[in-house]
Each structure stands twice: as C-alpha cells, then as structure tokens.
C-alpha cells in the first residue's frame, strides 16, 4: 500500500523515536478514503513491528486523534461504497504533526 521509499522514511523516524528523539515530525504519508471523510497522517512506524504506525488518525467521526494504527487493517479496509484506502501521491507536509492535530481538532477533521 505505502511505497517503499516512504516506508523507509517512516522506519527512520520510528528508529529516531525509539532512541528517545522527541522531535515534532512532519507527516510522511497521507492515507485517505476516496469520497469519504477518513484520513491518516503518519509520521513513523515501529522499528520492532513495522506494521504499527503512529500519526494523526481521523476515522470520520469528528474526533481526530493522535495514536497508533495497524497498517494491515488499513490495507483491508473497505468503505461503504467498497473503495479501498489510497495513498495521497501528491501529499507534501507543510506543518508538523502537532500543528495538523491542533487544526484537525478545531475543525473536527483532517484538512490538508
């Protein structure tokens, strides 16, 4: 689902976090539901379990939150219309994850 070059960047960020780096990172990848309201902005994957990512998660319930997500669950996700999630190939982060989180909480959704 996520291109290998982005997975490498997510893993590098995860390794930095595992070593105690508390830097407020910019998201590496945006995953979204075509035609829907769900979206994920991910900054890192766990170096011990690369199927687990961390980022801003918006399941479309109006309550975006920071947390972990299982990438295998996202790979199998289907919308009510039967659509799979997609990686936004044009996404380039312009803010840090905490800035996106602040904006998303105020607006009730991720808006990039």
> With contact defined as beta carbons under 8 Å apart, do 54 and 43 qualify?
yes
pTM of the predicted structure, to 2 decimals: 0.95
Confidence (pLDDT) at 44: 98
Identify the pLDDT of residue 59: 92
The pLDDT of residue 19 is above 90 = yes
Higher pLDDT, 11 or 80: 11
Maximum pairwise Cα distance, the chain: 42
Rounded mean pLDDT, 45-73: 96
Instruction: Tell me how far apart the alpha carbons of residues 27 and 66 are, in angstroms, rounded to a whole number.
Output: 12
At residue 67 the predicted structure's pLDDT band, cuts being 50, 70 and 90, is very high
Sheet of 29-32: strand order equals 65-70, 52-58, 39-45, 29-32, 86-87
Tokens 């105020």 -> residue: 106
Distance CA 73, CA 44 (A): 16
């Amino acid at each position: 689902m996520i291109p290998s070059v982005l997975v490498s960047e997510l893993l590098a960020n995860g390794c930095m976090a595992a070593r105690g780096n508390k830097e407020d990172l910019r998201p590496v990848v945006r995953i979204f539901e075509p035609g829907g309201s769900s979206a994920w902005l991910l900054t890192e994957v766990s170096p011990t379990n690369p199927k687990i990512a961390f980022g801003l998660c918006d399941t479309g319930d109006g309550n975006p939150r920071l947390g972990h997500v299982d990438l295998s669950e996202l790979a199998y996700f289907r919308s009510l219309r039967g659509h799979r999630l997609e990686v936004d190939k044009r996404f380039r982060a312009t803010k840090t994850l905490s800035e996106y989180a602040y904006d998303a909480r105020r607006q009730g959704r991720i808006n990039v």
